[in-house]
Amino acid sequence: MAVHGSSDILIDELYETTNRLRQFVETRLREKGASVARLRALRMLARAPEPLRMRDLGEMAGIAARTTTTIVDSLERDGLVERVRHPTDRRAFLLRLTEDGLRCHREAEETDRLALAEATATLDAADREQLRALLARIRENTG
């Protein structure tokens, strides 16, 4: 049962479902020494066509600069990310994944995929399509 945090039980249930999915995936990732926040950073760095500035990573992830710094410092400490000098701005550094970072990213993506597949296993193709269509309608209305 959803905690009533809004005036609409549907919204409360969407929020609770999202939180439970995140916790579900977080538990699976933690078993492998990762987290949702670290996976998001690894994912963005892996998908970027070139190394990113920390500010760009934070903006892409929608997180505060302080949080970005904490995550990147952790990834760097674990040998998953390295800071390299920006080619044209002496004051700036770029972030790129190390070989261990690429491997960790692949493993975390697989853990994420398996966890989400498990969480949604009772939804058939029609259920998934219907849910996606309903969510798209909400997104369209909130624009």
Residues 51-74 pLDDT 10s:
999 999 999 988 999 999 999 999
Token pair in block for residue 64: 């505060």
pTM of the entire predicted model: 0.85
Non-local (6+) Cβ contacts of 89 within 8 A are none
Span 18-53, pLDDT tens digits: 999 999 999 999 998 899 999 999 999 999 999 999
Q: Report CA-CA distances (Å) from 30 to 21, 26, 90, 107.
A: 14, 6, 37, 12
Backbone angles phi, psi at 34, to 5 degrees: -120, -175
